[in-house]
């Protein structure tokens, strides 16, 4: 008998449930469009996002400028596409590093000695006690605004969420029979964590990561809107919204063009994360 059949059956069942989830499919389509637009922005952009065209400044949508132009005549559609690259960069790097560090620290807290758990919990609670914007203002006052600073803020403020979830899952697993059997055979802490704890902990963290992407994107856009993140003339959704806000009485198109992708990206990752959570967590699956 093929021992991999049950695993394949579970995979097919999860895929079937996902394909039958309309909100999940809608979220997957929006997320796919976000990745395509961000990755292929140089090919999809109709203009150089930094090129000035003063005679056509504050233009509405035309065949040449699909989303109009800003106060300097720069093509808004192209700037939004390149802003998606910034959002993707911050989300991919920030969420990945936060996930890895949070997973490692959370497993150490849940599996290690009590004193280590207390120290790490104190560290997590201390970080979470600072509002993100307040922490960003303090960091900018010391180091100055930059995209790298946004990444650091996103990583530092996101680690505790992953670590706490990993800690809780690890504490629930460390006294199970298969872990105790592995320890009785002489397996070390590192081997036990990597071979037996991590595969059972990583699933919920990946779902949390998918749902955290819109949060990270919103943080980057918000900090850039306030002038604490990406700096002009570099394009990001936050800077496009900031520049559009200054000229909103003259033309609304920069605000519309910068706000729509932010809303759609948030909806896409939220719907996708909800669908994955319903599929991978039997307790949340509808009909149970």
Q: What is the pLDDT of residue 37?
A: 92
Pick from 229, 104, 204: nearest CA to 154: 229
Pick from 222, 240, 239: nearest CA to 230: 239
Q: How far apart are CA 91 and CA 247, in angstroms?
A: 29
Is pLDDT larger for residue 177 or for residue 98? 98
**What is the CA 276 to chain-centroid distance, rounded?**
15
In terms of C-beta density within 10 A (0-12 exposed, 13-18 middle, 19 or more buried), how is residue 112 classed? Answer: middle
Residue 286 in this model has a pLDDT that exceeds 60: no
Pick from 56, 226, 260: nearest CA to 137: 226
Range of the domain at 19: 5-284
HSE value, Cβ hemisphere, 13 Å, CA-based, for 142: 7
Q: What is the pLDDT of residue 276?
A: 81
Q: Which domain CATH number covers 173?
A: 1.10.3720.10
Q: How far apart are CA 278 and CA 288, in angstroms?
A: 11
Query: What does the pLDDT look like over 46-81, one tens digit per residue?
Result: 898 988 888 888 888 888 888 888 888 899 999 999
Q: What is the pLDDT of residue 100?
A: 93
DSSP 250: T
Q: What is the pLDDT of residue 272?
A: 87
Instruction: Provide the domain count of the chain.
Output: 1
| Helix, strand, coil shares, percent, the chain, to 5 | 75, 0, 25
């Amino acid at each position: 008998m093929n021992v991999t059949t049950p695993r394949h059956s579970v995979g097919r069942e999860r895929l079937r449930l996902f394909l039958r989830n309309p909100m999940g499919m809608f979220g997957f389509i929006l997320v796919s469009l976000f990745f395509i637009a961000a990755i292929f922005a140089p090919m999809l952009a109709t203009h150089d996002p930094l090129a000035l065209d003063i005679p056509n400044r504050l233009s509405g949508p035309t065949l040449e400028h699909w989303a109009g132009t800003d106060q300097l005549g720069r093509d808004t559609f192209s700037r939004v596409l390149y802003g998606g690259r910034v959002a993707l960069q911050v989300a991919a790097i920030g969420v990945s590093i936060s996930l890895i560090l949070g997973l490692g620290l959370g497993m150490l807290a849940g599996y290690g000695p009590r004193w280590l758990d207390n120290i790490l919990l104190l560290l997590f609670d201390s970080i979470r006690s600072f509002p993100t914007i307040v922490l960003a203002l303090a960091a900018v006052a010391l180091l100055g605004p930059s995209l790298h600073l946004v990444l650091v803020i996103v990583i530092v403020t996101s680690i505790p969420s992953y670590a706490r979830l990993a800690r809780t899952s690890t504490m629930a697993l460390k006294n199970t029979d298969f872990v105790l059997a592995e320890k009785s055979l002489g397996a070390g802490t590192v081997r036990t964590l990597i071979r037996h704890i991590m595969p059972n902990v990583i699933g919920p963290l990946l779902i949390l990561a998918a749902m955290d992407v819109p949060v990270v994107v919103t943080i980057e856009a918000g900090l850039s809107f306030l002038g604490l993140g990406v700096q002009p003339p570099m394009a990001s959704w936050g800077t496009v919204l900031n520049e559009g806000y200054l000229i909103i009485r003259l033309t609304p198109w920069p605000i519309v063009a910068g706000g729509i992708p932010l809303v759609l990206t948030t909806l896409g990752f939220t719907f996708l994360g909800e669908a994955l959570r319903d599929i991978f967590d039997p307790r949340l699956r509808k009909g149970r």
